[in-house]
Amino acid sequence: MNQQHRPFGIPAYEAAPVIASSEREAAFAIRMKVFVEEQTVPPEEELDAYDVAALHFIARLAGEEDASGIVGTARLIDKGHGVGKIGRVAVLIEHRGRGVGALLMRCVEKAASEHGFTELILEAQLHALPFYEKLGYIAEGDVFLDCAIEHRLMRKLL
């Protein structure tokens, strides 16, 4: 389980692959809250067929075993030829800016390495580009629209 160093006054968080179905449900609920309610993505486009085979990840308040302590999520899809695609990276608004997103990404990358992926790609919303750049992802290609939100493809070799 990835752990986090914390500044004074900020709760500790940890990230891990989803194990229990209650964790998976909590992860999906966070996606609905962040992408559908906050970013107005159509609800029918949020959960998709990739969710069935994807590896899902959660970030939670450290030591909080109950699903109510889950504050962030991400997923990893196998695109073949050693390429994994990270997506649906979301942290509840009240827990942002505390390193939770970075903690989640490190957890996904560790699992991706363990599964034999050699390259990770993602489609970054433009506002999140600096977040991914700090984690070593490099943008390529033109800006494109997905659900009316501007994105760019980003890539990182593991």
Ligand X SMILES: CC(C)(COP(=O)(O)OP(=O)(O)OC[C@H]1O[C@@H](n2cnc3c(N)ncnc32)[C@H](O)[C@@H]1OP(=O)(O)O)[C@@H](O)C(=O)NCCC(=O)NCCS
- Using DSSP, state whether 42 is helix, strand or coil: coil
29 forms part of the interface with ligand X (CB under 6 A): no
C-alpha torsion angle, residues 35, 41, 44, 47 (rounded to 10): -30
5 forms part of the interface with ligand X (CB under 6 A): no
Q: How far apart are CA 30 and CA 36, in angstroms?
A: 10
Q: How far apart are CA 66 and CA 133, in angstroms?
A: 32
- Judge contact between 135 and 48, C-beta under 8 A: no
70 forms part of the interface with ligand X (CB under 6 A): no
Provide the token pair at 148: 């009316």
Tell me which DSSP letter residue 97 carries: T
Q: Which of 27, 41, 90, 120 is close enough to bind ligand X by CB under 6 A? A: 90
User: Considering the complex, what minimum distance in angstroms separates the CB of residue 86 from ligand X?
Assistant: 9
Q: How many residues bind ligand X (CB under 6 A)?
A: 18
128 forms part of the interface with ligand X (CB under 6 A): yes
155 forms part of the interface with ligand X (CB under 6 A): no
28 vs 131 by CB, closer to ligand X: 131
Nearest position to ligand X, beta carbon? 101
30 forms part of the interface with ligand X (CB under 6 A): no
Binding segment for ligand X among 4-12, 49-57, 119-127, 138-146 (CB under 6 A)? 119-127
Provide the token pair at 150: 């501007």
62 vs 116 by CB, closer to ligand X: 62
Beta bridge partners, 124, equal: 152
Beta bridge partners, 84, equal: 78, 120
Residue numbers of the site for ligand X (CB under 6 A)? 34, 89-91, 96-102, 124-125, 127-128, 130-131, 134
